[in-house]
Amino acid sequence: MLLSFPVQFATGFVLLLAVTLVPLWGVYFWQKMDINSINSLYGITICFTLTSIVLQRLIQYPGTTQVAYVLPVTSLIYGLLLFFYLVSRIDYSNQIVIKSYAVTLSWCYAEYFLSNRFRVIRFAVVPFGTAKQLPEAHGAIFIPIGKRPELPDTMIHAITADLGSASLTPEWERFLARCTLNGIPVYHVKQVREAITGRVRIDHLSENAFGSLQPSTAYSFIKRIADVLGAVLLIVLTLPIVATIALLIRLESPGPVIFKQRRLGFRGKPFTMLKLRSMRTNIDGEKFTSGIDDPRITNVGRVIRKFRIDELPQLLNIVKGDMSFIGPRPEALELSAWYEKDVPFFAYRHIVRPGISGWAQVELGYAAEIDGMKIKLEYDFYYIKNFSFWLDILITFKTVKTILTGFGAR
């Protein structure tokens, strides 16, 4: 209970008020505050609430730790507050806002270290079927149950079992039913594996009915509007950068500035994807790049690929409706035809618009072989199954990190 979100939020908010308002106005601060402090109180309340909610939602996804997002999330939200104050010309207290920012940062970091130390989920594993093959994971401990349907002596939070296993006898089923009645949640092994790996298994159709992978129509519509508005704004802001890079490309090597390639897109329809050219056009060799050491990559190309600047022309693809900011990365027509012969359900990834960045790109990177493509497709299916605003926000943060640092670029 002490580590639950409501308790931690309430404790943090009381600490926020105690540090920012009580020293200025006393314990009964609400009776004495001036207009600047009142406006600031409204602002810092909203910022602390939004920061807490956003961090809580982001850490629900696999491989995501709160410590990596405390600084960017808090800074972004408080930056928007200051921008609002400046634009609206509302009076506010610099002292209160700055103190609030420091308290929010400190509390969120402290919350992470407390949670990292004590909030470890302990699963009791029923020793049948695929449940015995669960991978190790940060924040989770798997404790195997013996041959008899009895709980282990140590404390556990939940039970996981392969509910489709033929070895699950009526005795074990009664045991799982009793656990559920006593408040111990029982999860199918597939749910736990997806939560740990961020991937959806695609070996058999029965494991993932098409209905469970159907993305939200309402969110798709909202996302499309946000894509168009964001793309138009970025086209205006990045036009000088694109023009400068285009000039450097022409000076370094002959050939067109824009590289065009046919890709398979939304609902399986081909489209022409645009990129700033990063490779020489007068060198014969493999048709697809083999990595960062490919000899065909130019000096300018190596830089723009590292920071994803070569993707900027795809903003036009977004405006046209061919792509989205976030989604499964579109594959070349030749590769798509190759994958469809060997990878089950490959075409289903086209149920959402392809993206400039996606869950597979930020978690895995580029995969061009069949085995790697199967794993990449599992990430894509996880994105489709969990298609939501919060997952898009998480991918956006991870993508921005790659753009600013170059780390993880291929």
Burial of 27: CB neighbours in 10 Å, binned 0-12, 13-18, 19+: exposed
For residue 39, give every residue at least 6 positions away whose Cβ sits within 8 Å of its Cβ, in sequence order, or none.
Answer: 85, 90, 91, 92, 93
- Residue tagged 């002596």 (tokens): 153
Summarize pLDDT for 90-116 with one digit per residue, the tens.
999 999 999 999 999 999 999 888 776
Query: How many C-alpha atoms does 350 have within 13 Å on its Cβ side?
Result: 19
Question: Does the pLDDT value for residue 393 go beyond 70?
Answer: yes
Question: Does the pLDDT value for residue 366 go beyond 70?
Answer: no
pLDDT of residue 339: 82
Q: Cα-atom radius of gyration of the chain, to the nearest Å? A: 25
Summarize pLDDT for 174-226 with one digit per residue, the tens.
999 999 999 999 999 888 888 888 888 776 545 455 556 678 889 999 999 99
Task: Dig out the tokens for 149 from the structure.
Answer: 């349907």
More confident residue, 12 or 373: 12
Neighbours of 244 (CB within 10 A): 10
Neighbours of 237 (CB within 10 A): 9
Residues 341, 343, 346: CA angle, nearest 5 degrees: 95
Which of 43, 24, 132 lies closest to 84 in space, CA to CA?
A: 43
Burial of 109: CB neighbours in 10 Å, binned 0-12, 13-18, 19+: middle
Three-state DSSP state, 188: strand
Amino acid making up residue 310: D
Residue 365 zone, left/alpha/beta (φ > 0; ψ -120 to 50; rest)? left
Cα distance between residue 272 and residue 91, in whole Å: 51
More confident residue, 402 or 89: 89
pLDDT of residue 356: 93
For residue 285, what pLDDT band results from cuts at 50, 70 and 90? Answer: very low
Question: Does the pLDDT value for residue 405 go beyond 80?
Answer: no
Amino acid making up residue 286: E
pLDDT of residue 180: 93
Percent of the chain with pLDDT over 70: 90
Cα distance between residue 254 and residue 152, in whole Å: 69
Question: Does the pLDDT value for residue 369 go beyond 60?
Answer: no
pLDDT of residue 74: 96
Q: What is the dihedral of CA 256, 258, 263, 267, to 10 degrees?
A: -140
pLDDT of residue 317: 97
| pLDDT (average), residues 383-404 | 90
Cα distance between residue 40 and residue 348, in whole Å: 49
Furthest CA-CA distance within the chain: 77
Task: Dig out the tokens for 386 from the structure.
Answer: 């969990």
Whole-angstrom CA distances from 248 to 241, 258, 277, 278 are: 11, 12, 11, 11
For residue 391, give every residue at least 6 positions away whose Cβ sits within 8 Å of its Cβ, in sequence order, or none.
Answer: 61, 359, 383
pTM score: 0.84
| pLDDT (average), residues 241-266 | 92
Please state the separation of Cα 201 from the chain's center in Å: 19
Which of 123, 196, 195 lies closest to 161 in space, CA to CA?
A: 123
For residue 308, what pLDDT band results from cuts at 50, 70 and 90? Answer: confident
Q: What is the DSSP letter of 27?
A: T
pLDDT of residue 336: 85
Amino acid making up residue 74: T
Inter-residue contact 357 to 364 (CB < 8 Å): no
Phi and psi for 369 in degrees, rounded to 5? -100, 160
Q: What is the dihedral of CA 359, 365, 366, 370, to 10 degrees?
A: -80
Question: Does the pLDDT value for residue 279 go beyond 80?
Answer: yes
